[in-house]
Structures are given as structure tokens and as C-alpha cells.
Amino acid sequence: MNSVQAAPAAQRGANPPAVGRTLAVTLEGLSATIVAVEVIAIANLPNFIITGLPDTALAESRDRIRAAFASTGFAWPNKRVTVNLSPAAVHKSGSAFDIGIAVAVLAAAGFIPPEAIEGTMHLGELGLDGAARPMRGTLPAVVAARTAGIRRVVVPAGNLLEAKLIDGPQIVGVESLAELAESYGATVPWRHTASASKQVHGTHVPGIPDSAGGAARPMPDMADVIGQDIAKQALEIAAAGGHHMLMCGPPGTGKTMLASRLPGILPPLERDAAIEVTAVHSIAGLFQPQGGLITRPPFEAPHHTATPAAIVGGGSGIPRPGAASRAHRGVLFLDEAPEFSARVLETLRQPLESGQIVLARALGQATYPARFQLVLAANPCPCGLAIGKGIECRCSSVARRRYLERLSAPFRDRIDLQVEVESVPDGALEATSRETSASVARRVAQARAAQLERLAGYGWSTNREADGAWLRGKLGESSGAVRAAREARRVGLASMRGMDSVLRVAWTIADLEGRPAPGASDVDAALTLRSGLDR
């Protein structure tokens, strides 16, 4: 007798179980991984298993999907349903896999043809009534689909406007699982009224500011600033070269007013930069797509009580971007900078150098871009009155020194421009002719264009990004600018990093004045602007 036993009669000649296959995506920071969703339903003890390193929110999708099936009238397969998310070694997070898993179960159970969903990316969360709920990170997910050559992406109707901001794939918006199943040829027993989804799909989500989108709103104008010629000149130099800036002065002298006007004189974002910035805000859940891509440099001004996680990002599972990443390609403004905790300020040293933030957690690592301009405002002392004539400061010399020393020397060494902002004299209040942001922005744009031409091919776009050795080599060691910068370092006015920073600012001054290269006088001006608070 043959040692190999024959299969049971019921199984001989039976067709293999159908496998439902579709696509989804998982995000780690702005890095996206295309995920293959595979579902098979086999005759065994009824169960619903998800494999492939799902996090808690993804594991809970089993209950949401079963409830959505019941609300739509589909009979859940009385079998062992196994979901595999591949690649299995990559952590998967979030509830945006719900719709992909649900349609793959429909295909495996025979409600829709399996071939109908292959090659299509399905994104979105399901409500218990079968409604398709909007998700965070739709824009970077669609960008990943376009990069991978995926031609069709299904998203919740609430994410349709955001998804269509990316050219390439065919974008389909759905209100519910029932609507999606019908589009694939299924007979839906009944439709549940998705009232909850209609509330979410409105034009504004409560608690999320409309300013997160690109809709046009009046920008603060430089013409509103009275006096402060030196501070305004420093702000223009900061905008032209992408330099970091510290303003120190008594309360009410216009430090916050000046900082809020910096985005208005910065050039608008190019399309690739706009997509990158919008993707960060989409992952943060703050993007409103009605105004299109974010084309203005963002402006973030966290309170001085903010935690390190609020500034650089954090949260359970895969961390979300913080204020520093939301300010990418724009301005991060820290008002009352010495009041921020030392931990917060020191966490900014890495992104100031590298232009990105790497957040490592037990479930994975997220990398977010953070190439922002840092603008700091500080009082000169605890009472705020140490600068200015005719005003009596109540603080001791020790208290004044210790107050600004809360900004550590390594941290301040990374700030290119450090200027005093004094009280506005009475005569300045009568001035009627003040330069507008539009006029300043034109000079900034011309200086930026000169930098792009000079730095083409090196991967830099502003003087602040240029390598110090390259700067010195471009000018030549015998040039007056390099000699002046080295002399400043020799007499202790600048560190090695500070010497390169002075050269960068000097080159920006020359760019604003239309000269091909800086000279010794530009270095002197840059040194004055860099060390103004120490003199």
C-alpha cells in the first residue's frame, strides 16, 4: 500500500482558496514604504489574524472592519481569515490600512473579483458604520504611489482634495465601504447612512487652524515697523542668506513684529519644496487642502513652556513632526528665548547643523526635514529694561549676565546675526515714508538668485548652507575678506565656526548690493552684526 495517503474526497479536485491582493502604504517620517496587503480565507476554526508587525491601532482594525461588514450587510466569512502585510519586517502603524484590508477580505470571500483590486492603492480608516474616514499623511502617501508607478489610488472623500494636489495617479474618493464595493461589482445588501463621515468631510475640522493651508491671507508688512533701521537691515540680510538671528531689547520695541514679517520677504516656495512642506503638515494633521499646496514659507512660534517633544516631535509609535519640522523652509520663532528650557534649546543644535531631525523610538525611526530659519527674541535681563536710555534697570549685573547665559555659548555660536533692538525715539513716530515688504522682497529675491547661480551644482541654495572650506577657497586665502575673518578669529572675536559664519553673512551683504564677492568692509559689517550683543 502506498505510504502517501490520499487527500479526502471533498478536497480532491477542489479549487484553491482565492487570495485578495491590494496595496497600501506605511510612513516613517516622510519616508514611505509600499505595503502589499494579502488576504486568504481558509476552512478552519473562524479567526481573524493580521501579520506583518502591526501596531495597536492597526491590530484594532479587525473590529472596525468586521463592524463595517455588518453595517453594510456583507456576511463575514466563517473561516480563518489571515491578513499578511508585506514586507513583514517593516513596522506598520495607523488606521489607514482599514480600507485596503477590507477590500482584500471582500475579494478573498468572493464578493468582488480579486483582479479588480490588484495594483490599486487603498487608503483610509473605516468607521463602525462603514464610512470612509479621512487620514493623516495622504499627500506623502500619494507621492509614494506616484514614485512607485501606481496608477490608481482610492482615498476617503475627505482626503480627495489633498490627494489631487499630486499629478500622476488616478485619484478616486469614496464615502463608504459600500460605495467602494459597488464600484467593484458587488451587490451591497444595504447602505448605512454615513452621517459621521459627513461631519468629518466638511470644509473645516474644529480645532485645526485654516492657516495650515495655502489660502491667501494678508501678510504682515514691513511698512508697519517704525524705526529700527539696524534690525530691519539685519532681517533683510537674514532673509537673503537664510541666516539665523537673535534680537535683544526691552519689551515693546518690535521684536515680535519684526520676526512675524520675515516670511513676507522670503521667496515663495518652489513646487518641490511646497510638496515637501505640505507633506509635513499633512502628517501633523494640520493641513487644510482648500487653498492648495503651502507655497508660503511657514511661520511657527511655540510658547516658551513647550516641551522638547513639542519642538522636535514625538508621540507614541511613529513620532509626529514638531514645531521645528513644521517650520521647514520657513521660520521658527522663539520669543522670550531665555525662558525656554535648556533641553529644548539644545535639541535644536542638531537640526541647525544638519537640516533634519531623526527621532528614534522602539517601534521605528522617523526622519523629518527641519531646514528652518531660527529667529530668537530676548529681553536683555529678567526685568527687560537693561537696554535703553533714561530707563532704570532693577537687575544686578550678575542677574543680567546669567539671564542671557541661558542661551549657551555653543548654541549662540550658531546664530549668525545678533542685534540690539532699542526703544523707538519720538522722532521716528512722525516718519511717513517706510519701505514695504514687497520692495524688500525684490532685493531678497535678486540676492537669492545670485546665490543659486554661484552655488549651482553643490546642492546648496543659500549662503548659510555653503561649506566653510568652500567659501574660503572660493574667495582665496589672500583675499581681504578671508584675511579680515581670520584676524577676527585670532583676536578672539569669532570661533572657527564663527569665522565661517561671518564670511557667509559678508557674502550675503555683497549679494544684496549686487557685488560679485565680499571685501574686508563686508566682513567688518558682518562681524558687527554677529557680535553686536557682546560689545
- The reply to whether 43 and 132 lie within a common domain is yes
Q: What is the pLDDT of residue 207?
A: 36
What's the confidence (pLDDT) of residue 9? 43
Helices (H), 363-467: 397-404, 409-412, 437-455
- pLDDT average, residue stretch 26-33: 90
Please state the domain count of the chain: 2
Residue 81 and residue 226 in one domain: no
The mean pLDDT value for 470-479 works out to 84
Please write the tens of the pLDDT for every residue from 75-84: 999 999 999 9
Domain encompassing residue 177 = 19-200
Question: 423 pLDDT band (50/70/90 cuts)?
Answer: confident
User: In the structure grid, which three cell numbers stand for residue 1, read together?
Assistant: 500500500
pLDDT higher at 194 or 162: 162
C-alpha cell at 395: 537687575
Residue 99: phi, psi to the nearest 5?
-65, -40
The strand pair at 417-420 and 245-248 is best described as: parallel
The answer to whether residue 8 sits within a structural domain is: no
Least confident range of 313-327, 332-346, 368-382: 313-327
Residue, of 375 and 192, whose pLDDT is higher:
375
In Å, how far from its chain's centre is CA 389?
A: 43
Shared domain check, 105 and 53: yes
Same domain, 248 and 175: no
**Residues 443, 412, 487, 500, CA torsion sign:** negative
Q: Is 263 helix (H, G, I), strand (E, B) or coil?
A: helix
Domain contains 380 = yes
Domain boundary among 374, 404, 429: 429
Give 484: exposed, middle or buried? Use CB within 10 Å, 0-12, 13-18, 19+: buried
Strands lying side by side in the sheet with 120-122: 47-51, 80-86, 31-42, 19-28, 120-122, 152-156, 170-174
pLDDT at 103 (0 to 100): 97
- The 10 Å Cβ neighbour count of residue 259 is 26
Locus of grid cell 514638531: 322
Residue among 52, 81, 66 at smallest CA distance from 126:
66
Phi-psi region at 511: left, alpha or beta (left = phi > 0; alpha = psi -120 to 50): alpha
This prediction has a pTM of 0.86
**In a domain? residue 530:** no
- Banded model confidence at residue 239, pLDDT cuts 50, 70, 90: very high
Collapsed DSSP state (helix, strand, coil) of residue 214: coil
Q: What is the pLDDT of residues 195-208, one digit of tens each?
A: 434 433 333 333 33
Residue 159 pLDDT more than 90?
yes
526 is a domain residue: no
Q: What mean pLDDT do residues 308-327 have?
A: 87
My answer on whether 159 and 292 are in the same domain is: no
User: How much is the average pLDDT of 267-287?
Assistant: 95
In a domain, 505, yes or no: no
Same domain, yes or no, for 234 and 304?
yes
Q: What span, in angstroms and rounded, lies between the C-alpha atoms of 532 and 332?
A: 22
CA atoms of 493 and 474, how far apart (whole Å): 23
The better pLDDT of the pair 429, 367 is held by: 367
Q: Which of 429, 447, 462 is the last residue of a domain?
A: 429
Query: Within this chain, do residues 401 and 254 fall inside the same structural domain, yes or no?
Result: yes
Mean pLDDT value across the chain: 87
Phi, psi of 407 (to 5 degrees): -90, 105
pLDDT at 193 over 50: no
Whether 483 and 520 have beta carbons less than 8 Å apart is answered as: yes
Answer with the one of 170, 200, 230 that is the final residue of a domain: 200
User: What does the pLDDT read at residue 2?
Assistant: 46
The CA distance from 331 to 299, in Å, is 5
Confidence band (pLDDT; 50, 70, 90) for 94? confident
d(CA 533, CA 422): 12
Q: Which of 260, 257, 252 is nearest to 423 (CA)?
A: 252
Residue 515 in domain: no
d(CA 503, CA 481): 7
